[in-house]
Structures are given as structure tokens and as C-alpha cells.
Structure 1
Amino acid sequence: MAYTLKLVGIGSGNPKHLTLEAIEALNSCDAILIPHKGADKDDLAGLRRQICADVLTGDTPIHEFTLPIRDEATTDYRQRVDDWHDAIAAVWLDAMQKALPSGGTVGFLVWGDPSLYDSTLRIADRLTKQTRITTQVIPGITSIQTLTAGHAIPLNRINGPFTITTGRQLRDNGWPNKVDTVVVMLDGACSFRHLDPTGITIYWTAFAGMPNEIRRSGPLSDITQDIIETRAEARKKHGWCMDIYLLRKDD
């Protein structure tokens, strides 16, 4: 049996972020798989279900499955991630085979865009080594685009480079060299608080693109504590919080 795996970027939570190409791709699937990430993140699965309800024109079957939890006991971060991805690939393959025993086209709705700080393509690569799978990628609006649009700011200064990094990298290595603009993703610990805030402006967004989107902006020295407290309150209320922020040094 052979499968075509369509990885469809769906934007950062707003059903209106879907492109016409994404809608066409979802309607071409024989089945769509939606992952669960635990009870406290069921609204993520719910948003995927709502998108399917809004754009599917036929009776495409939707199958849901539970993602394995990453083992935090292993001290080596990269090993934890690799083991987790192996486990997810096995769950994916099982879900695909149950949904379409004879093969076919399977759709996955990927948050944001599959190319940016997302492991969907790496997991799909594991699957291609196990069975006959062709992967197709449909790009989506990224949380970076939603961040800059929400704050009505350009991503870079004129002719200026910028860096996209993670909270872990910012915390461990500080401000990246030779750039005045840094976009930080995957930061559950507000790592900007480890920087000298002098001359830095922050543009922070949580739940980008969703109805409950939260934005804060201003001098980092003035609003660090406000962001920390706002994020903690949002996480307590929803059980999770996806946020992203841009840091820019003054001219």
C-alpha cells in the first residue's frame, strides 16, 4: 500500500488564515487525521475540527488519535526529542493504516507553517523510511506574520538582518551577534528577562490569530513583569499558552 501525506499549514488559529490552496488540499484527502495533545489542549484539536467543518465540502472521514508525551526523564535534550519523534511517527503510521488500510491520501493540519520550528516534516521523513509515502507540503501563515501584523510593524529594519531563535537559545547564549532584531519562539519561561533591557523594545503576542489573542508592546524595562504575569494568568486559565515575541534594539 502507498500513501500521500499532505501537510497543510493552517495558520496560527484563525480559520480565515487558510489559503485557497490549503482548502483545496484538504478537500482532496481521503481521510484527515487530528491529534490530541491532552485534555488541557483539547481546544487545539477543536480548532482543527472547526476548520474541517468550515471548509470540507464532502464527507471526508476525520480520525483522531492521541500523541505520546515526551519523556522528560532523559537528561539529553536532543535524545528526548529524537525518541519522542520516533514514538510520534509510530503513532502516525498506525493511525494512517487504521484510517486507510488500502492506502490513499491523508491530510494533517499543521499549526502555522510546516517549515518553521515545527517537527512535522522530520516526523514525516521517518515515515518515508518505513513505508511508501509521498509527502506534499502546503504552506501556511506563520505566527511571525501574525505577530508583526497585529503590532503593525515590519519584521526587519531597512537592509537589516534578523534572527529567529528559541527561548532556550536566548536564555543560554544571550542576544545573537550582528543583528538588532530577534524573533523568539518556543519560550515557556519568558527568557527575555535574562537580558539587559536597556534600549530594547519588545512586541509580545500570545494566542496569535485566535479570538483570545493578547498583545503587549513597549520598552522591555517597563513591561517585563506585566508580560510575565499576563502569560502566567493566561496559562492558568487555558491550561496552555503559545506565545511569540520580537525584540528590537534602539537605533
Structure 2
Amino acid sequence: MPHNRPRSGRRNGVQVARVVEVVGIGAGDPGQVTVEAVAALRRADVVFFLDKPGQARELSDLRQLILDTHLPEGGYRVARAEDPPRRREADAYTGAVADWRSRRAEVCQQLITEHLGPDETGAFLVWGDPALYDSIIAVVEEVLARGEVDFEVRVRPGISSLSALAARHRVTFNQIAGSVQITTGRRLATGWPAQVDDVLVMLDSGNTFLRYRDEPGVTIHWGAYVGTADEILVSGPLAEVAEHIVATRERARAAKGWIMDSYLLRRQTTDPV
């Protein structure tokens, strides 16, 4: 939502002492949390947890591990709320996401109002990097736009799951003189992006890479739970490893009740024009 709010600690000439930090915490490895992120967390009076239901609460346990690793002395409070589920049966994807963000904004506004004092700092912990396929920045902006509570927003970048994936496989995002596109399984299902040889794919519940296993020269670098103790990596010619990835993914999801995975699809670079 566009607006002209400054990013300083002043609103309409009045100093705002309340601060909300949006902190990227990486893909799960406490060693990949940046020095800037650790400093921000150490300034926090309260850390906000949006808990997932069921077995996915393990994600909250990983957040707590990161806090325990970098803030062993404590000194902060934890305020928790249930993360509203997205209505996945909705026909209009964009509308469903907008509805989900608004319901998350309601929850976040309540957390900030009830648990963050007028001179305190609160922190939302975001997987990977807050700028990449995460909604908390937009959610916090919606809370501000409502005008019922005021605070300064600060965003701390993190190591994305895609960066961690590429590092684990010891590859780069793109080839020499080549382009790379970050997309979703939903988008990839409509076709391989034009003039792109390397495609980084997130949010693919349908194993969309199977559509391209018969295309010559395509390789895949896939990873699940990257950066955690349960990390799984598979790499090779897509035609040879596609079914193995599908089976591995199904077993992992059945065992844990949830999965976070991504992959890089790569085909031989075409000569630049």
C-alpha cells in the first residue's frame, strides 16, 4: 500500500519511540544469522512468535533455538499468537493472499498493542530474507496504515533459503552471461520463462519440475529443510533424479507433517545475443 511515511523515528514532527524490527534469520542454521540481525535481536524487549498449527510448530522451536544461540542471557519476552491459515480452497489466489495478510495484520496489531510498550522494541523473526516471498513487511505496513498504533519499522536482511541452497550445492544462481529468474511452482507450470536458462523455484507443492524431465540437458539442484539438522539434498540430471526427488519429498513430508523446499532448474546456456 503506497504512502509517504518516513522511515525515521518521527511521525508528523513527533518522536516515536516504539520500534518494530523485521529480522531475517536465515534458513534455519543459527550460524547463518547476520551480525546485524543479532544486534537487532539483542535490542528487542519482546519477540513476536506467529505459531503454525500441528507439527509445523517445530518452526517455532527452530526460532527459539536461534534466540537461545545468540541471546543466551535472555532479557526479552516472547509474545505468541496463532498464525491464521491461508484459505487454500479459494479460487482467486491473489484475493486469498490479500485476505490472509489482512487477518495476519489483525493478529500482529493485537500483539503490538498488547505487548509492546511505548518505549520498547519488538521483533518479528522472518525465515530467510524478509524481501523474498514473505508477507510480514506488507503486514506491518498494513497495521501502520490503519492508524490505530504507531511505531518505527526497521528491516534487517537475512540469508535466503535460495542462497543457502546454492551454497550447499556449491553452484551459482546463473551461468556466464545468463539470466536467472526466481518464481513459484504455480508460475513455472505455465511454461519455462523466456530468455532464462536458470530458474529458482519456491512454493512448489505440485512437483512442477516433472513437466521438464524429458527436456534434454536440464539439471536440478533440490533441497529440503536447508540449513537445519534434517537437511536433504538431491542433485543431478533431471531425467535421472526427478522421481527420486518426488519419493524423497513425500517421505519427508509424511514423517514431519510439513516441508520447506526449493530448487534450481538449469539448462545449458544459450549464446547471448
Could you say whether these structures have the same fold, taking a TM-score greater than 0.5 normalized by the shorter chain as the test?
yes
Q: Matches of 2:199 and 2:88 in 1, distance apart?
A: 28
Alignment partner of 1:220 out of 238, 241, 244: 238
Q: How does 1:132-143 map to 2 (within 5 A)?
A: 132-143=150-161
Q: Counterpart of 1:223 in 2: which secondary structure? A: helix
- The one-letter code sitting in structure 2 at the alignment partner of 1:232 is E
8 A contact 1:114–1:120 mirrored in 2: yes
Task: Give yes or no for contact 1:127–1:133 (8 Å, CA) kept in 2.
Answer: no
Alpha-carbon distance in 2 for matches of 1:74, 1:144:
28
Q: Can you list the C-alpha shifts for 1:15-35, whole angstroms capped at 9, x where unaligned?
A: 111111111100111211111
Aligned-partner Cα distance in 2 for 1:58–1:36: 20
Partner of 1:238: 256
Give the drift of 1:74: 2.6
Counterpart CA distance in 2 for 1:247 and 1:102 is 48
2:205 is matched with: 188
* Letter of the structure 2 residue corresponding to residue 29 of structure 1: A
Output the aligned Cα RMSD. Answer: 1.4
Whether the 8 Å CA contact 2:105–2:139 is kept in 1: the answer is: yes
Matched, 1:40 2:62: no
Q: Using the alignment, how far apart are the partners of 2:17 and 2:96 within structure 1?
A: 30
Residue in 2 that maps onto 1:30: 45
Q: Tell me how many residue pairs correspond in the alignment.
A: 250
2:112 paired with 1:109: no
Seen in structure 2, the aligned counterparts of structure 1 residues 156 and 73 have a Cα distance that, compared at 3 Å, is closer
- For residues 169-200 of structure 1, the C-alpha deviation after alignment (integer angstroms, 9 at most, x for no partner) is 001x2100001111001111111112243210
Q: Following superposition of structure 1 onto structure 2, how do residues 6-17 of structure 1 map, counting pairs within 5 Å?
A: 6-17=21-32
Given that 1:9 and 1:138 are in contact with CA atoms closer than 8 Å, whether structure 2 keeps it comes out as yes
- More off after superposition, 64-73 vs 241-250: 64-73
- Gapped regions of structure 2 (runs ≥ 5): 1-15
Q: TM-score, normalised by structure 1?
A: 0.95
Q: Residue 21 of structure 2 contacts residue 154 of structure 2 at CA under 8 Å; is this kept in 1?
A: yes
Asked if the contact 2:185/2:207 (under 8 Å) is kept, the reply is yes
Once the 2 structures are TM-superposed, how far is the Cα of residue 238 of structure 1 from its aligned partner? Answer: 0.5
Percent identical across equivalent pairs?
38
The residue correspondences of 1:155-166 to structure 2 (distance < 5 A) are 155-166=173-184
Which of 108, 118, 128 is the matching residue for 1:92?
108
The ranges of structure 1 where at least 4 consecutive aligned residues each deviate by more than 4 angstroms after the TM superposition are none
Q: In 1, distance between residues paired with 2:143 and 2:120?
A: 15
**TM-score of the superposed pair, with normalisation by structure 2:** 0.88
The unaligned stretches of length 5 or more in structure 1 are: none
Cα distance, 1:103 vs structure 2? 5.6
Q: Distance in 1 between matches of 2:89 and 2:224?
A: 28
Pairing 1:146–2:161 present: no
CA separation in 2, counterparts of 1:237 and 1:2? 45
Give the secondary-structure state (helix, strand or coil) at the position aligned to 2:230.
Answer: coil
CA contact 1:97–1:103 (8 Å) conserved in 2: no
